[in-house]
Amino acid sequence: MPPPARSVEAMTSISLRFFPITADDIDAGIAFYRDGLGLELRNNVAAGDFHWVTLGVPGTDVAVVLSEPGAGRSPDDAEALHRLVAKGAIGPIVFETDDLDGVFARLTALGADLVQEPTDQPWGPRDAAFRDPAGNLIRINQAG
């Protein structure tokens, strides 16, 4: 049984800060998320044989962190994660934009793996879907 809900007045504010995304090719991931989706490259960190990058939503503190499957994991875990991501088994990761057609055009021009063209969905949003270079399913909703 879940605990009882607290009143809204007693709750502390909370927001999303970082979201991890596995990317087997960091440079290809940068092109997809920065050049295709319009995120800002905020950090590029080397860590031994691996590196990760942080890309943020402009005008906010919200960011995604791209890291390789083997970063901080055993070889067996890295291979298992790589296989799950490549199958599209993790996600979808959903973004929202005020210009779905523009984002769709940029990702298409980059040669991104198209899953679904912009479509009015029966559950509400107009959206499109792509796979990023690692295989993660990315959905992009039209805002408003």
Domain locations in the chain as residue ranges:
16-142
Please give the model's pTM, rounded to 2 decimal places.
0.85
DSSP state at residue 34? I
Specify the pLDDT at position 6: 63
* 40 Cβ contact partners less than 8 Å away, ≥ 6 residues apart: 34, 55, 56, 57, 58
What is the predicted pLDDT for the residue at 88? 80
Both tokens of 100, joined, read 């779905």
Q: What kind of fold does domain 16-142 have according to CATH?
A: 2,3-Dihydroxybiphenyl 1,2-Dioxygenase; domain 1 (3.10.180)
User: Scanning the structure block, which residue is given the tokens 């890295």?
Assistant: 78
pLDDT over 90 for what percent of the chain?
68
Supply φ then ψ for residue 131, to 5 degrees: -105, 135
Look-up of token digits 């959903």: 94
Tens-place pLDDT, residues 47-59: 888 889 999 999 9
- Give the Cβ contact number of residue 90 at 10 Å: 16
Q: Confidence band (pLDDT; 50, 70, 90) for 120?
A: very high
Look at 11-15, 80-84, 121-125 and tell me which has the smallest mean pLDDT: 11-15
- What average pLDDT does the segment 23-28 reach? 94
Average pLDDT over residues 97-115: 96
